[in-house]
Amino acid sequence: MAGKARENGEGSIFPYRNGYGAYAWVTTPAGERKRKYVYGKDREVVHAKWIKLLGEAEAGPVVTSKPKVGSFLLRWLEEVVKPNLAPLTYATNETFVRLYIIPALGDLTFAKLTIDKAQKWMNKLATTCQCCAQGKDARRDVKKQRCCAKGNCCGQLLSSRSLSDVRACLRNALSEAMRQELVSRNAASLIKIPKVSKRQRRRKRKRWSAEQAKAFLLSARQDGDPLYAAYVLIVVQALRKGEALGVTVDAVDLEDHELDVNLQLQRVGRQLLHRETKTEASDDTLPLTPLAVAALTERAVRRELDRKNAGEAWQETGLMFTTRFGTPIEPRNFNRSWNARCDKAGVPRITVHDGRRSCGSLLVELDVHPRVIMKILRHAQMQVTMEIYAEVSTDVTRAALRKLSDSLGG
């Protein structure tokens, strides 16, 4: 029986090992003309695959190789993420790829990365102890091992937020794979984050009351803490830690009482970077409160005194907050100083970022409009600001409920 006449360049079906093979000429995403092969035990099966391949070739570019997810992710990090996004964003994504994605999905080809496999991966990731998986306890000195290495699993699970961030990393990578026409569907976009246990839930953020914030700043001022002005910028002006440490001398206008916020000091791996802020919304010229003006004035005097005392050992960086020799303040050292000040002031230890959030919460209690708070905190989205509104103090909540009760005749 005569077969259908084939046009020149369509390819052909031929006997291959214990079955049949077929090929068709296709155009790759790079614009090259190559043969692509399909195989099967029966001629009818191969013929169906061949017809489908011809249709794909006619519709547009066709991928001839079968790249693995792992090799693509590494290339995506180096060629897409690293040149175009912030160093910390690259470092974070590299960690997600190395620790959570490649070990489970790296050896799969894109064709085998189905929604079902992606969901099973996420489900398993949500219930896997990361101390066991990464050998954290096993890397400790034998005498210091205390949990997983001794068979007493500590159950160090990823939080819902972390799981969501890992999913976003894979989703962004697969979006690039779709752009390169390596895959037709983004399996990660359909992954559902499993319901997490209570221990995995994000802990409620701590915050200071007005009295506690005042005690913290008063303690630093009375002791002549060299970082007092930085504390004021965080608690009163709502700067982020990196923004406070990245403030330059030129950014402070003590005459017009203004501060330009457009740089941050950031530790990324072994590098300490003085670079632009994360988003355009973070950049702004802020009016300085009298408290901040006084604190920065004192800091400028102290900085000049440090410069004279250091002499030739002084290293000019242009930063407002420096060591005695002009070098940048290491962010981790700032955390230690912050914690030590909390203890000395007799206030609860909270993170530096929660100090900034305390500023937002205190503004809520003063009935400042959400739009104004959003401007002060320099949030890009109102939703983030409203999260602070959801964390008002117990006293404010109690007063609101009492007010409602009175209005209803209670």
pLDDT at residue number 394: 58
Each residue's pLDDT tens digit in the chain (410 positions)?
344 444 444 568 899 888 999 999 888 766 788 888 888 999 999 999 999 889 888 887 777 767 889 999 999 999 999 999 889 899 999 999 999 999 999 999 988 899 999 999 999 999 999 999 999 989 999 888 889 988 899 989 998 989 999 999 999 999 999 888 788 789 999 999 998 765 555 556 688 888 999 999 999 999 999 999 999 999 999 899 999 999 999 999 999 999 999 899 999 888 898 888 866 667 788 899 999 999 999 999 999 999 999 999 999 999 999 999 999 999 999 999 999 999 999 999 999 999 988 888 888 777 777 788 788 888 777 777 776 655 665 566 566 667 665 766 65
CATH number for the region 69-200 comes to 1.10.150.130
Strand 19-27 with 284-287, pairing: unpaired
Tokens of 379: 């949030």
pLDDT at residue number 58: 87
pLDDT at residue number 9: 45
pLDDT at residue number 405: 58
pLDDT at residue number 235: 93
pLDDT at residue number 388: 63
**Coil, strand or helix: which one is 96?**
helix
- Contact predicate 159/200, CB 8 Å: yes
196 dihedral zone (left: phi>0; alpha: psi -120 to 50; beta): beta
pLDDT at residue number 404: 63
Q: What is the pLDDT of residues 337-349, one digit of tens each?
A: 999 999 999 999 9
Dihedrals φ, ψ of 319, to 5°?
-80, 145
- CB atoms closer than 10 angstroms to residue 214: 14
**Coil, strand or helix: which one is 31?**
coil
Tokens of 297: 């004035």
- Contact predicate 293/351, CB 8 Å: no
- Give, to the nearest 10 degrees, the angle between helix 160-179 and helix 69-76: 90
Question: What is the distance between the alpha carbons of residues 313 and 325, in angstroms, rounded to a whole number?
Answer: 6
pLDDT at residue number 398: 62
- CB atoms closer than 10 angstroms to residue 358: 24
Domain boundaries, the chain: 12-59, 69-200, 210-400
Place of tokens 């993170």: 351
Q: 210-400: what fold?
A: hpI Integrase; Chain A (1.10.443)
Q: Please give the span between the terminal C-alpha atoms of the chain, in angstroms, as a whole number.
A: 94
pLDDT at residue number 78: 95
Pick from 21, 59, 292: nearest CA to 181: 59
257 dihedral zone (left: phi>0; alpha: psi -120 to 50; beta): left
Tokens of 222: 């009375």
pLDDT at residue number 375: 81
Pick from 291, 221, 227, 233: nearest CA to 259: 233
Tokens of 262: 């457009």
